[in-house]
């Protein structure tokens, strides 16, 4: 059941924030919160240490506004919460945003502002227009990563290699992304500690701890730590809990108990979790279709994923409009996503796939839940791999028409560096770990998840597709095949029908990037 009132939640936020403030200012330098790491502080003097902004020049822009174009509310909770304070944010997040922006503002004489896209506005067009003729409506932008990729391949963005004061080698930039997002040595967008949506869009699994106990199942945390958390183990445990006849009706509904609730996008995530990528890069940083080169291995991995997704004794398909789960959610007056969260909370789902951002919603329930990484393909696999669903993740870009690249690079670098101990800490350590996550084991799981993030160029550039959600693209075709149940297509037949278009799209983009590298 849900928490009684928003007031109670707000009271808790305020109370904990006050406790954290007291802990951070304790006379002996220690923190009183037993779940806090004494080496980390939400309002941290470390943020003002000499190493912050090291390498950046002394500049004063006379309190000019520095405006960042950010995604608005088109995709609900996936709107940007990364740049400027808002009334709808928690006290902790607003305090962190204020502190971060003041650190940068005081150092460089700027006022940090955001410009949110409005309903019907196309961020792609706004950035394209700015790349052609600078209007001053905004300085830089944080579009969703696939949009950044489209703009990069059009020549609408500055190459980060040409932005003098951006240092992608610093730990405030996601090094997995730095390694993965370049093509032919060219980097046109980057994501780091400011880009909380990218952190939030990392895939994970949540589970109901009460069901684990009631059914005397293996401890999921121990399975992860022992290297035994696999697709087969998820399926085995899910089958032990799944109940086909709980409500006495034919077919499964939101009133029944499921072993595993899965969304379509998680099919690709499980493939990535098996230690594979759709697209790899050679020693010259040139991408190639790894999926085609390893078609036999890919088919074997997909077969196991397919069997899990389509096992009626384990799995419910959250967003499949033809599934009983989806239909019953709509009939009950809710959407499939809220229904899936409620299923976990109400002990009607043992496991559920989700993005980290959805943990916030689950934390609104009185629910005994834990967090796990995506399972391995088998026990022999070396480590876990956590897919970043980049469709609604953000990255910094600078439109090619922007007249002062030094200013852009200074403020972007400064904001990213200053975010580490302010906004990122507030979101990751205080909100996720300190409030929404319920035990130290899940905190450890979050660390495993975030330390094993994977970006895939195939998903980002959507080769083979004509739109973000085109299931003929390399990034989405596996989702389509798995959720079809194999009734209209197979892995091999679908891949065979789209691989030529994928290859052509890839080669066209490679040619453009090679031309840029030669200049």
Within the chain, all domains assigned CATH 3.40.190.10 are found at 38-200+391-449, 203-385+464-504
385-402 pLDDT, tens digit per residue, is 999 999 999 999 999 999
CB atoms within 10 A of CB 479: 20
Reading phi first (left if > 0) and then psi (alpha if -120 to 50, else beta), residue 63 is in: left
Q: Are strands 203-208 and 369-372 parallel, antiparallel or unpaired?
A: antiparallel
Question: What is the average per-residue pLDDT within 363-388?
Answer: 93
pLDDT of residue 432: 84
290-309 pLDDT, tens digit per residue, is 999 999 999 999 999 999 99
Q: List residues bridging with 230 in a β-sheet.
A: 376
Question: What is the average per-residue pLDDT within 480-487?
Answer: 92
Q: Is the pLDDT of residue 415 over 70?
A: yes
92-122 pLDDT, tens digit per residue, is 999 999 999 999 999 999 999 999 998 667 8
250 pLDDT band, cuts 50/70/90, is: low
- Please, what is the average pLDDT of the chain? 88
Helix-, strand-, coil-residue percentages of the chain, each rounded to 5: 45, 15, 40
Q: DSSP assignment of 482-518, as one string?
A: HHHTTSS--HHHHHHHHHHHHHHHHHHHHHHHHHHHH
CB atoms within 10 A of CB 84: 19
424-461 pLDDT, tens digit per residue, is 999 988 878 876 776 889 889 999 999 999 999 999 99
31 pLDDT band, cuts 50/70/90, is: very low
92: tokens are: 């902790």
- For the chain, what is the largest distance between any 2 Cα atoms, rounded to a whole number of angstroms? 72
pLDDT of residue 366: 83
249 pLDDT band, cuts 50/70/90, is: low
Residues near 329 by beta carbon (within 8 Å), at least 6 away in sequence: 254, 335, 336, 338, 339, 340
Q: Minimal CA–CA distance to 261: which of 172, 132, 362, 360?
A: 362
Classify domain 38-200+391-449 at the CATH class level: alpha beta
Q: Is the pLDDT of residue 331 over 90?
A: yes
Output the CATH code of domain 203-385+464-504.
Answer: 3.40.190.10
245 pLDDT band, cuts 50/70/90, is: low
Q: How far apart are CA 416 and CA 191, in angstroms?
A: 9
pLDDT of residue 18: 33
Q: Minimal CA–CA distance to 373: which of 389, 358, 361, 384?
A: 384
Helix (H) or strand (E) holding 454: strand 453-454
CB atoms within 10 A of CB 269: 29
Residues near 480 by beta carbon (within 8 Å), at least 6 away in sequence: 264, 471, 489, 494
46 pLDDT band, cuts 50/70/90, is: very low
Q: Is the pLDDT of residue 15 over 70?
A: no
Q: Is the pLDDT of residue 49 over 80?
A: no
pLDDT of residue 435: 66
Question: What is the average per-residue pLDDT within 134-145?
Answer: 95
196-233 pLDDT, tens digit per residue, is 999 999 999 999 999 999 999 999 999 999 999 999 99
Query: Cα dihedral sign for 479, 455, 119, 400?
Result: negative
% of the chain at pLDDT higher than 70: 88
143-198 pLDDT, tens digit per residue, is 999 999 999 999 999 999 999 999 999 999 999 999 999 999 999 999 999 999 99
Q: Is 144 helix (H, G, I), strand (E, B) or coil?
A: strand
218: tokens are: 């293996």
pLDDT of residue 244: 63
37 pLDDT band, cuts 50/70/90, is: very low
59-88 pLDDT, tens digit per residue, is 999 999 999 999 988 777 788 899 999 988
């Amino acid at each position: 059941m849900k928490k009684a009132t928003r007031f109670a939640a707000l009271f808790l936020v305020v109370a904990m924030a006050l406790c954290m403030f007291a802990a951070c200012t304790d006379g002996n330098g220690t923190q009183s919160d037993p779940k806090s790491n004494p080496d980390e502080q939400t309002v941290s003097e470390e943020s003002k240490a000499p190493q912050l902004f090291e390498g950046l020049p002394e500049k004063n822009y006379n309190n000019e506004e520095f405006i960042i174009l950010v995604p608005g509310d088109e995709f609900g909770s996936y709107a940007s919460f990364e740049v400027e304070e808002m009334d709808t944010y928690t006290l902790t997040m607003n305090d962190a945003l204020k502190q971060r922006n003041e650190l940068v503002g005081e150092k460089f004489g700027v006022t940090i502002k955001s410009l949110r896209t409005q309903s019907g506005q196309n961020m792609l067009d706004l950035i394209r227009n700015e790349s052609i003729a600078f209007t001053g409506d905004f300085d830089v932008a944080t579009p969703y990563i696939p949009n950044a990729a489209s703009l990069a391949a059009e020549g609408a963005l500055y190459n980060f290699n040409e932005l003098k004061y951006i240092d992608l080698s610093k730990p405030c930039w996601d090094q997995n992304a730095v390694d993965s997002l370049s093509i032919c040595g060219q980097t046109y967008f980057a994501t780091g500690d400011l880009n909380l949506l990218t952190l939030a869009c990392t895939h994970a699994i949540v589970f109901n701890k009460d069901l684990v106990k009631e059914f005397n199942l293996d401890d999921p945390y121990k399975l992860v730590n022992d290297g035994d958390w696999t697709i087969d183990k998820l399926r085995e445990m899910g089958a032990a809990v799944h109940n086909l006849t709980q409500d006495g009706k034919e077919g499964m509904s939101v009133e029944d108990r499921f072993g595993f609730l899965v969304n379509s996008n998680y099919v690709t995530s499980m493939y990535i979790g098996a230690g594979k990528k759709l697209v790899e890069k050679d020693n010259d940083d040139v991408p190639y279709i790894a999926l085609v080169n390893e078609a036999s291995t890919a088919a074997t991995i997909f077969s196991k994923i397919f069997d899990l997704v389509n096992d009626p004794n384990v799995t419910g398909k959250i967003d499949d409009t033809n599934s009983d789960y989806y239909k019953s959610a709509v009939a009950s007056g809710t959407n499939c996503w809220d229904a899936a969260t409620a299923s976990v909370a109400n002990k009607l789902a043992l496991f559920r796939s989700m993005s980290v951002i959805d943990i916030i919603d689950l934390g609104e329930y009185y629910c005994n839940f834990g967090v796990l990484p995506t399972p391995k393909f088998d026990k022999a696999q070396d480590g876990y791999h956590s897919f970043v669903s980049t469709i609604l993740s953000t990255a910094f870009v600078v439109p090619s028409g922007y007249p002062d690249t030094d200013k852009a690079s200074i403020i972007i670098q400064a904001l990213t560096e200053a975010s580490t101990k302010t906004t990122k800490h507030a979101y990751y350590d205080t909100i996720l770990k300190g409030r929404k996550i319920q035990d130290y084991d899940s905190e450890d799981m979050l660390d495993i998840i975030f330390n094993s993030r994977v970006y895939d160029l195939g998903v980002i550039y959507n080769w083979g597709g004509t739109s973000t959600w085109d299931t003929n693209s390399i990034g989405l075709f596996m989702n389509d095949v798995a959720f079809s149940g194999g009734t209209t297509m197979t892995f091999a037949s679908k891949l065979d029908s789209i691989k030529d278009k994928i290859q052509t799209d890839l080669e066209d983009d490679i040619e453009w990037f090679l031309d840029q590298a030669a200049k």
